[in-house]
């Protein structure tokens, strides 16, 4: 609770700001980036500031009469009603004109600081009430408190714009640092051929990995996560499988022991040593997994804030887009997808991290005569086209061809069937490979495609000529 002296100082600062703006309305645009109506302690001052902003933004002159027309002839305060708005505005203007000329910016910090203290005090009282409720979950309260505090911090800071020149200067500084100190911004993929067509993933990027069921999107996502954790810790939301099943795949990849053998425990003594050594190495990796099913978007945001604050994550993966829910209501799944991708882009920008969504392919796209993917083939493709910075499509052409094998009754019939021989030639060329295509890329060429080896037993994508 603020003391009387503090409240009096805040009210006088509000009067000084409003008086200055009435005397020199153009100064409104100087304080606009920092000062908001909610920062004022007196309701009438909030209404004056809002009305002045509305009038000036419309290109009109903020005369006293026009302000009265917007606010009303009378106002109520401290239990007193019938107070004349015009008299109050006149008093503010007279005070400003009778003293030394001051800048409204001289008093803005006082007003905002007082608002920040009031907001924090309200948050503290809210926390006490929430914790006093039966069955209160302290973790949920903590996350909600963090969101409130972040909101207070955001609303008490200026929102300055930058000129193109300032932005270019920042880009030049980053370039010079990369050149002189060998500190290249962003993360590479660990696959040089993929880096050629994708470039690097940067903080505040929204990326996506798309593939049909079994197309290798989770394999690529985990491979990128394990690469990026060398730069910064990584978060991984795995809604499709539990964390132990996912980790078993990684353990198989790292140890060289087959997944079935790891799950069933049927391996030799030397395999056990390999598993133990792989466990030791993997225990040092900085990947944090949340495998709760059908997570709400709001819960994802709370967990991301916690991971960012506690571990300093630089990226996160969400597997997959279709399984993300929201507490908001939507008329159809397309509206939900648009909301999810838009919010994930906001998460990336606000937290300064790379967010990667995994997306499945529509059934209609899987019925085509060519497995190559386009944005329109993806779940949420329209939303990703709007919000994503880059989208990688993974295709295993050999798996697609398996479902299109011409039917023959015998080996002899196969040998003489032109359709079968043509299919067999295509299958042999595609066997054990996967295609990665940049179907969207704001940082490079779109539509570039490269072939890689798909090492299924090791759950890894490898260079074709590596």
pLDDT tens digits for range 196-243:
999 999 999 999 999 988 888 999 999 999 999 999 999 999 888 888
* Cα 173–chain centre separation: 25
The residue ranges of the chain whose pLDDT is under 50 are none
Nearest to 205 by CA among 450, 42, 448, 444: 444
What is the predicted pLDDT for the residue at 178? Answer: 67
State whether residue 361 is helix, strand or coil.
strand
pLDDT at res. 161 = 63
Helices 43-57, 64-71: axis angle to 10 degrees equals 120
Residue 459, number of CB atoms within 10 A of its CB: 21
Tokens of 382: 């329209």
d(CA 451, CA 437): 9
- Burial code (b: 16+ CB inside 10 Å, e: under 16) for 183-213 equals eeebbbbebebbeebbbebebebbbbbbbbe
Q: Could you tell me the two tokens for 143? A: 């996350």
Tokens 């000329």 belong to residue: 101
CATH superfamily of the 192-396+432-463 domain: P-loop containing nucleotide triphosphate hydrolases (3.40.50.300)
Helix axes 105-132, 4-23, angle to 10 degrees: 140
Distances (CA, A) of 403 to 10, 17, 90, 398, 399: 73, 73, 82, 9, 7
CATH for 4-155, among 3.40.1410.10, 3.40.630.30, 1.10.860.10, 3.30.450.20? 1.10.860.10
Q: What residue segments make up the domains of the chain, in order of their start? A: 4-155, 192-396+432-463
Q: What is the pLDDT of residue 140?
A: 80
Which of 296, 320, 300 is CA-nearest to residue 218? 320
């Amino acid at each position: 609770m603020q003391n009387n002296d503090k409240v009096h100082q805040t009210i006088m600062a509000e009067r000084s700001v409003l008086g200055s703006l009435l005397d020199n309305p153009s100064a409104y645009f100087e304080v606009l980036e920092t000062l908001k109506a909610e920062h004022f302690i007196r309701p009438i001052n909030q209404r004056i500031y809002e009305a002045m902003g509305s009038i000036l933004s419309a290109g009109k002159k903020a005369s006293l009469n026009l302000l009265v027309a917007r606010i009303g002839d009378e106002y109520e305060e401290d239990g007193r009603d019938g107070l004349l708005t015009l008299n109050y505005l006149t008093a503010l203007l007279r005070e400003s004109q009778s003293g030394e000329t001051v800048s409204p910016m001289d008093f803005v910090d006082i007003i905002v600081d007082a608002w920040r203290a009031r907001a924090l005090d309200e948050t503290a009282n809210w926390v006490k009430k929430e914790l006093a409720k039966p069955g209160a979950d302290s973790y949920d309260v903590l996350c909600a408190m963090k969101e409130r505090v972040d909101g207070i911090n955001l609303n008490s800071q200026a929102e300055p714009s930058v000129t193109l020149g300032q932005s270019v200067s920042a880009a030049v500084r980053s370039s010079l640092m990369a050149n002189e100190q060998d500190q290249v911004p962003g993360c590479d993929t660990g696959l040089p051929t993929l880096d050629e067509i994708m470039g690097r993933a940067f903080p505040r990027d929204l990326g996506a990995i798309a593939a049909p069921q079994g197309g290798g999107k989770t394999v690529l996502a985990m491979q990128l996560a394990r690469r990026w954790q060398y730069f910064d810790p990584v978060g991984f939301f795995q809604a499709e499988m539990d964390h132990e099943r996912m980790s078993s795949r990684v353990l198989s990849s790292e140890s060289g022991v087959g997944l079935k053998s790891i799950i069933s425990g049927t391996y030799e003594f030397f395999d056990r040593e390999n598993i133990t050594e792989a466990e030791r190495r993997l225990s040092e990796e900085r990947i944090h997994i949340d495998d709760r099913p059908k997570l709400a978007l709001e819960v994802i945001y709370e967990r991301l804030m916690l991971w960012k604050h506690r571990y300093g994550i630089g990226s996160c993966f969400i597997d997959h887009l279709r399984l993300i829910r929201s507490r908001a209501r939507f008329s159809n799944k397309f509206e939900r997808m648009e909301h999810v991708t838009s919010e994930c882009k906001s998460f990336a920008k606000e937290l300064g991290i790379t967010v990667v969504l995994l997306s499945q392919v529509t059934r209609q796209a899987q019925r085509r005569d060519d497995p190559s993917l386009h944005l329109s083939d993806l779940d949420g493709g329209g939303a990703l086209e709007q919000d994503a910075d880059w989208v990688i499509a993974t295709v295993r052409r050999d798996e697609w061809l398996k479902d299109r094998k011409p039917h023959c009754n015998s080996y002899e019939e196969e040998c003489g069937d032109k359709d079968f021989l043509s299919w067999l030639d295509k299958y042999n060329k595609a066997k054990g490979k996967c295609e990665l295509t940049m179907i969207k890329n704001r940082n490079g060429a779109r539509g570039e495609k490269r072939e890689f080896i798909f090492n299924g037993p090791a759950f890894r994508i490898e260079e074709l000529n590596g």
